[in-house]
Amino acid sequence: MKKFISDLLPAIPVGIILATMVFSHSCANTTTPPSGGPKDTIPPVITELVPLPGATNVPRIKTKLEMEFNEYVVVKDPKSLFLSPPLAKTPKYKIKGKSVIVYFENDTLAADKTYTLDVTNAIADNNEGNMFPGYTLVFSTGDRIDSMVVTGIVQDCNTLQPLKGATVMLYKDHADSAIFQKRPDAAVKTDEWGFFCLRNIQDTVYRMYAIIDDNNNNMYEPENEKVAFIDTLLRPVMVVSDSLPELMKYEMTDTVNCLARKQEYELNIFREKPSKQMIVNKERVGERTAYITFMAPYAQIDSLWIKGVPAENVITQFNLVQDSLEIWVNDPKPQPDTLDIFVKYMKTDTLGMLNPFTEEVKLVNPKKGSALKSARKDIKHEDTIAVFKLEAPAETVEQYGFAMEFSYPLVESAFDSLVFRSVNPKQQETIGRYTVTQDSLNLRKYIVRPVEKLQPGYEYFLKVPHRKFKDINGFYNDSTEVKVSLPKDDKLSSMSLVLSNVHNKYIVDLLNEKRDKVLRSYIIDKDQTLLFPYLKAGKYSIRITEDLNRNGLVDTGILLEHKQPEKVRFYKLEDGTFLIDVPEMMEIEQNLDVAEMFK
């Protein structure tokens, strides 16, 4: 028995010897902490396996898999006890002495099937919590062991960051419906590097998917979960071998070996847009303001009307992806307690088809039933004026201008009354010219841009005079002035991005080190140089998204249409990293061949 284990698991006897050496020098044991000596940092080591690795004709009913260790252990994460192909229920376990026994409650294994039990990230020693690096036990209920291997990486489609714990699945059934209705023919979880290795699989043709399996049922539920897929059918080409680095279990801190593993396939995971169209939410947020939310984007509305309100008094605005509709009543008179709104739109019927449907939406005034603000002391100043925000961050005012956003749509405006002036370092004042454009996605927002180039050392002022703007409530604005100067911190740096071979439309984003925040953004469709000024010392990423449909959005994928999310690439430095290190007081220039990135 021991000789057989040694032949198949060459790492086990070495581990036992190392563990014995450490324990003999530290005088430690696995049940009672020593009174002194170095801390135990050695992970547990497997000493015996039942059934043996590579065992065949393993019983299908009341199957038990036992792993005995050289010390007492605990199961830290039961979800990481992962059987492939998965059964209807997740594996159960119990601790017996120094052994972990895995069993399958009320489940019967399939006949003539190769199974793998992966225990990576599942087990730790009982005393110090040292994690067992992991092991995959391979056995078969038939008389042979499948021997093929497929590897790859799963990453987020927008950040390209690796995803830990994604479930990668292979299906011999090539129908699009398989992922929704069946458990896979092979599956595995990704590690902290997003890496996966589907080992000891059959030599046949598969479809490959990856999901974030929130409920651990090994099937895709599009309303709640994310998905990725490979465009084509695949057939494994690698064969299981003890020398394959991809089959090794490395410490996740071993960057060199983890990155050296061969990745045959790359899966970019995304959240699908819902396919069913219907109204899912609605709310009246004020006397003259409401919104309606649709389940799927790009809602097709034929008409909308409010009972008792003239059509010319109804203002509506969709958001960018047209799944949320804001509604305003342009009438300062008191509105009824209930707005009776009728929406005629294309709604998904019981057969999954879009058909015209008129839906009645009743929205109650949120102030109904509450005490009216009769006392003057209860009325706030902002309840009687046209409220707006005027913002101009110093770092981005050159690119984005002054943003002027009202809480309600305007019915009267006088943008020619704005006063834009500058004061130079000698305190000389000049009245400047400006342009005003309404935001294409927000009818309450306006962008004021100076005509002349802003200069360092100057102070700039934008003043909004009193009573020049009137909103749908019949209220006028207060006077406001905002002051801004270009940053003059000598420690700030700038970066120029020289883009060449631009043949499509692209969205270029400057991101922070974690890639979770967009700091600056441009949309381009030709060769040009983009300037990112006033950068603090730190690390940044450049993300470029290929906007093939030219809608200015990063579009997600659609599984049933075999449509991948729009391609995202990060600027890679010569050393293979994706982070640009910007020191203090530097002017950096980066040259980027866009066509080369997306070839």
Are 306 and 267 in a shared domain? no
Examine residue 370 and state whether it is found in any structural domain, yes or no.
no
Q: Which of 319, 338, 364 is the last residue of a domain?
A: 364
Q: Roughly how many angstroms between the first and final C-alpha of the chain, as a whole number?
A: 54
Is residue 37 very low, low, confident or very high in pLDDT (cuts 50, 70, 90)? low
Per the structure, how many domains does the chain have? 5
pLDDT at 375 over 60: no
Give residue 22's pLDDT band: very low, low, confident or very high (50, 70, 90).
very low
Q: Are 168 and 266 contained in the same domain?
A: yes
Pair (529, 423) in one structural domain: no
Label residue 549 by pLDDT band (50, 70, 90): confident
Residue that is last in its domain, among 94, 111, 145: 145
- Taken as a whole, the chain contains a residue count of 599
Structure tokens at 585: 């007081």
Residue 230 has pLDDT above 80, yes or no: yes
From the CB of residue 596, how many other CB atoms can be counted at a distance below 10 Å?
10
| 505 part of a folded domain | yes
Helix (H) or strand (E) holding 257: helix 255-260
Mind spelling out the 3-state secondary structure of 80-136? HCEEECCCCCCCEEEEECCEEEEECCCCCCCCCCEEEEECCCCEEECCCCCECCCCE
Mean confidence (pLDDT) of the chain: 90
> Which pLDDT tens digit goes with each residue over 460-483?
999 999 999 999 999 999 999 999
Which H helix or E strand runs over 178? helix 178-181
Same domain, 310 and 326: yes
The pLDDT value recorded for residue 223 is 85
Same domain, 454 and 588: no
574 token code pair:
């010569």
Q: What is the pLDDT of residues 300-330, one digit of tens each?
A: 999 999 999 999 999 999 998 899 999 999 9
In a domain, 73, yes or no: yes
Residue with tokens 């809608």: 551
Backbone dihedral angles phi then psi of residue 83, each to the nearest 5 degrees: -100, 135
Q: Model confidence over 256-305: pLDDT tens digits?
A: 999 999 999 999 999 998 889 999 999 999 999 999 999 999 999 999 99
Q: For the domain that residue 16 is a member of, what is the CATH number? A: 2.60.40.3710
Q: How far is CA 521 from CA 305, 424, 518, 544, 588, in A?
A: 38, 30, 7, 10, 18
Two tokens, residue 258 = 């983890």
Question: 172 and 233: one domain?
Answer: yes
DSSP letters along 179-214, please? Answer: HHHS--SEEEE--TTSEEEEEEE-SS-BEEEEE--T
427 occurs within a structural domain: yes
Integer Cα distance of 215 and 221 in angstroms: 9
Specify the amino acid at residue 280: V
Q: Is 283 domain-assigned?
A: yes
Q: 106 with 23, same domain?
A: yes
The residue segments making up the domain with residue 311 are 279-364
- What is the reported pLDDT for 330? 96
Residues 512 and 477 in one domain: no
E strand or H helix at 398 = helix 397-400
Question: DSSP secondary-structure letter at 473?
Answer: T
In degrees and rounded to multiples of 5, residue 469 shows phi and psi of: -135, 135
Is 219 inside a domain boundary?
Answer: yes
- 154 and 129, same structural domain? no
Does residue 525 sit in the same domain as residue 560? yes
- DSSP for 144-176? ----EEEEEEEEETTT--B-TTPEEEEES--ST
**What pLDDT score does 36 carry?**
53
**Contact assessment for residue 118 and residue 175, using Cβ atoms and an 8 Å cutoff:** no
The answer to whether residue 374 is domain-embedded is no
Compare 376 and 134 and report the one with higher pLDDT.
134
Place 351 in a pLDDT band, splitting at 50, 70 and 90.
Answer: confident
Is the pLDDT confidence value at 5 over 60?
A: no
- The pair of structure tokens assigned to 97 is 């002495």
**Model pTM score:** 0.80
Residues 1 and 138 in one domain: yes
How does residue 188 score in pLDDT terms, banded at 50, 70 and 90? very high
CB 391 within 8 A of CB 400: no
β-pair type (314-318, 354-364): unpaired
- Identify the residue whose tokens are 């050159």: 398
Read off the CATH number of the domain in which 189 is found. Answer: 2.60.40.10
What letter would DSSP give residue 327? E
Q: Let me know whether 264 and 193 are in one domain.
A: yes
267 is a domain residue: yes
Domain with 301 in it: what CATH number? 2.60.40.1220
DSSP secondary structure code for residue 594 in this structure: H
**What is the structure's pLDDT at 127?**
87
Among residues 271, 296, 326, the one where a domain terminates is 271
